[in-house]
Structure 1
Amino acid sequence: MAIITNVQQVLDSAVAEYGTPGIVTAMQDENGAWTGSAGLSDLEAGRRREPGEQFTIGSGAKAFTAAAMLTLEAEGRLSLTDTVEQWLPGVVRGNGNDGRQITIGQLLTHTSGLGITGLNVEIARKYHTRPGFAAHRYDVWTVEELLKLQMAIPPLYAPGSDFAYSNGGYHLAGAIIEKATGRSYEDEVDRTVVQPLGLTGTYARALDERQFRGPHARVYTRQFIKDGVDPASLTPDNYESLMEGPDSDPVDVTDRTIWGWAAGGVVSTTSDMLRFAKAMITGSLLPPAQHRTMWSTVPTRDWLPNTRYGTGVSQWALADGRTLHIVAGVELGTASFTMGTPDARRLVSVNINCDWNWYPVCSQIADSVFGSPFLPPQ
């Protein structure tokens, strides 16, 4: 009961102190299950956040993509040691990119060396300026366009030599899933993950979908570049200083297309994410060999402090020296974190319907549920 009280206090403070519109959580351990919420699902209508609402899980979708790919490996359809060139001949070429040197496994662990598309000028103009978002919120991307976006930039490292968080690597993985199966990425996620786990509120969202299929919260962003800033001037070192501040008016970005696809297009609920994370941690979905692969982690670089990355999943260090297993993602207007102990005996899933102040809120949730916050950055 003390844990529940502490978690509810964090939820309330997320709204009162951190300006989160609303927050919802689900937790389970040896004592049972509990759900809680605070704040609003809809700022205009005044509707409160409710358990069971759907949300986009952002980069948590990478864990679904990885699980689908590992299932295909277990079925003998492909191997993680296969090169990208074997499945997508001629696609990964130009600007120093070479699919003959990159394996599927490297795509999934962000060790392919592919460049980071997060500061792409086209993306910044279309989605991180207020006029750009208003004009392009319903644009429909194709898989070919997503792959070209990645190929337009040079690699950062030789394949296998270092870590660089690449959404384009997961778009390539999604394309390989389609090539190996002859089915859509969305259908393969449903076949290999959603249906076997009985995830009733979860689906991979198609690139042309504009709205959620079920009850959901409105989502809000302030992730816009300041007026007068040239998107081409953004760098990893300066972009935070060039974004609008916490006093800017948030924008409702709920209804739109989502171009994250295999890197960030899955929709779920907190209860479904508990079931999914438990299966990933315990190995109840994947055969032993593929489960070991999923949690064979590498140190991260220029991503999040004190973390290691597996295939679509990550491990985060707590301040007391323990480690949590995590499926997490931040997407325009929303942040989703599902955290569990290495034995999955205690799990918590959290969603906030905005994309600011997520780190301190999730660290406080970790402290309340697991007895320690995240290890702070050095």
Structure 2
Amino acid sequence: MTGKGHEGTQRALERAVAEFDIPGVVVEVKDADGTWFGTAGVADLATGARRGPGELLPIGSGGKAFTAATILTLEAEGRLGIEDPVHKWLPGALATNGYDGDKITIRHLLGNTGGLFATGLAPELVSGYASRSRFAEHRFDVWTLDDLLRLAVSQPPVGEPGERFVYANGGYYFARAIIEKVTGNSHADEVERAVIRPLGLTSTYARPDTETGYRGPHPRAYSTQFYRDGVDPADVTSDNWESMMEDPGLEPLDVTEFNTSWETGNLISTTGDMIRFIEAMVGGGLLPPAQHRKMWTTVPTEGANWLPHTRYGLGMFELDRAVTGGRVVRGVGGSYWGHMFCALGAPDDGRTVAFHTNKEATGWDLLFKIVEMEFGITIDA
């Protein structure tokens, strides 16, 4: 479906399906002219069913923004401070393998500047899903919060607290534990209270650790993110990784039913709900002014092997103004087996975009093409 002024975005969706082997993609745009929804490809390779509005989608690391907003709400309520050291709330939790919870603060956790290693690349996690056979064996494994806290400190620090940005899911595992310690409630309940209900996100929920399905219409998810059977992930390097990957001619594996209890918040949402969320977080419609400023006090991500041309705040990123010509564009993104989700907004003109592919990201071409078409900003991926 096409709409006024969105023809370039529609072409980008069709190109993604034709050239990047993405089964299906949806995008929703809200601007001064209203709301436009575009789609290409299919929701289900077996039936050929098309993708459409209102699908329930995992937002992956987009959940970090919900956790950060919940922490900042607790700060506004006087229940904690983001400069609090971790050990104030979790005594001894960061006192192993070279970490120092008296120096690492809640701000460090939320900004990925605490010196924690890149937890999402930990062999204990990645090896369980590294090949098709390993995925089949481990796809329903449950990761408890205690498991995740141990994982987060299973390798030594990669820097001093506050020294530099390193994208580390582990910081958000500790943030989740702090929310639960401070409130006596579950992380899911506090996210519901602080973010989901106030914004009226009626299709957004935290999936329980043991739940692998969806509570309504959703696309099938597909992945080709696997090594050949028998490859030890520990042997993979930046020089040999291509030779370790499985045959590119294999059909994508259906990974729809998949336990993602290791994901930040394990949140399910829709493009429409995420547009409302991004509007509030980008424009200041949820947090008090002091906490909103703290969320958008950013650090550079250059050299971190992460999303290029960005700066990172607390749970959300901002496109580097050096490449946007000074324009402010902010958002969230996440990708893992079978999914890529991104949502962005520009507070100067109220334009907001959310999109999802039912296959993991293999690069940033689609994201930056949508940024170009919808925000008029050309960025080299």
Matched, 1:47 2:52: no
String of CA shifts for 1:270-291, please: whole Å, max 9, x gaps.
0001000000011110000000
CA displacement at 1:227 relative to structure 2 = 2.9
Partner of 1:356: 361
Task: Give 1:341 shift.
Answer: 1.4
Which amino acid letter does the alignment assign opposite residue 279 of structure 2?
A: K
* Larger CA deviation: 233-242 vs 107-116: 233-242
Q: How does 1:215-230 map to 2 (within 5 A)?
A: 215-230=217-232
Distance in 2 between residues matched to 1:237 and 1:276, nearest whole Å: 40
Within 2, Cα distance between the matches of 1:238 and 1:95?
30
Q: Is the 8 A contact 2:336 2:361 kept in 1?
A: no
- Give 1:329's aligned amino acid: G
Per-residue Cα deviation, 1:191-246 (whole angstroms, up to 9, x for no partner): 11110000011111221111111211111111112233212223466546633364
Measure how far apart 1:374 and its partner are.
Answer: 2.5
Name the SS for the 1:244 alignment partner.
coil
State the match for 1:311 in structure 2.
314
Bigger CA drift: 193-202 or 4-13? Answer: 4-13
State yes or no: 1:233 paired with 2:231.
no
Residue identity in the other structure for 2:222? Y
**1:99-121, Cα deviation, whole Å (9 max, x unpaired):** 11100010000000011123222
Q: How is 1:181-196 mapped onto 2 (pairs within 5 angstroms)?
A: 181-196=183-198
User: Residue 177 and residue 236 in structure 1: after superposition, are their counterparts in 2 closer, same or farther (change >3 A)?
Assistant: farther
Confirm whether residue 273 of structure 1 aligns to residue 274 of structure 2.
yes
The residue identity in structure 2 corresponding to 1:143 is L
Name the counterpart of 1:339: 344
Contact map agreement 1:335 1:358 (CA 8 A) in 2:
no
Instruction: State the Cα deviation string for residues 50-75 of structure 1 (Å, max 9, x = none).
Output: 11101111111100110111001111
1:337/1:350 contact within 8 Å kept? yes
Q: Could you list the per-position Cα deviations for residues 175-204 of structure 1 after superposition, in whole angstroms to 9, with x for gaps in the alignment?
A: 111111101111111111110000011111
Assess, with a 3 A threshold, how the Cα gap between structure 1 residues 118 and 67 changes in structure 2: closer, same or farther.
Answer: same
Q: Tell me, yes or no, if the aligned pair for 1:138 and 1:257 is still in contact at 8 Å.
A: yes
Q: Report the residue type matching 2:49 in the other structure.
A: R
Q: TM-score, normalised by structure 1?
A: 0.95
2:177 aligned with 1:175: yes
Partner of 2:215: 213
Question: Quick one: which amino acid aligns to residue 32 of structure 2?
Answer: E
1:325-349 per-residue CA deviation (whole Å, 9 max, x = no partner) reads 1111112210011111143511111
Asked if 1 retains the 8 angstrom alpha-carbon contact of 2:220 and 2:358, the reply is yes
Structure 1 segments (4+ residues) deviating >4 Å: 235-241
> Which of the residues 130, 133, 136 maps onto 2:132?
130
One-letter identity of the residue aligned with 1:310: G
Match of residue 95 from structure 1: 97
- Match of 1:34, SS state, is strand
- TM-score normalised by length of structure 2: 0.94
Match of 1:107 in 2: 109
Residues 79 and 50 of structure 1: is their aligned pair in 2 closer, same or farther, counting only changes over 3 Å? same
Please list every run of 5 or more consecutive structure 1 residues that lacks an aligned counterpart in the other structure.
Answer: none
- Alpha-carbon distance, 1:2 to partner: 4.7
CA distance in 2, matches of 1:225, 1:369: 36
CA–CA separation in structure 2 for the residues paired with 1:324 and 1:335: 19
Question: Which of 346, 354, 370 is 2:375 aligned to?
Answer: 370
Distance 1:320 1:141 in 2: 39
Alignment gaps of 5+ in structure 2:
none
Percent same amino acid at aligned positions?
49
- What secondary structure is seen at the aligned counterpart in 1 of 2:151? helix
Q: 1:357 Cα shift?
A: 3.9
Q: Is the 8 A contact 1:20 1:357 kept in 2?
A: no
In the alignment, the residues of structure 2 paired with residue 252 and residue 98 of structure 1 have an alpha-carbon distance, to the nearest angstrom, of: 42
Contact 1:119 1:234 in 2 (8 A): no
Deviations 1:274-323 (A, max 9, x none): 00000001111000000001111000123222110000010124855344
Question: What is the aligned partner in structure 2 of residue 119 from structure 1?
Answer: 121
Distance, in Å, in 2 between the alignment partners of 1:358 and 1:23 is: 15
Closer, same or farther: CA 148–346 of 1 in aligned 2, 3 Å: same
- When residues 234 and 89 of structure 1 are mapped into structure 2, their CA distance, relative to the original with a 3 A threshold, is farther
> Does the C-alpha gap of structure 1 residues 226 and 272 become closer, same or farther in structure 2, counting only changes over 3 Å?
same
- For the aligned residues, what is the CA RMSD? 1.7
Q: Give the whole-Å Cα distance in 2 for the aligned partners of 1:235 and 1:180.
A: 41
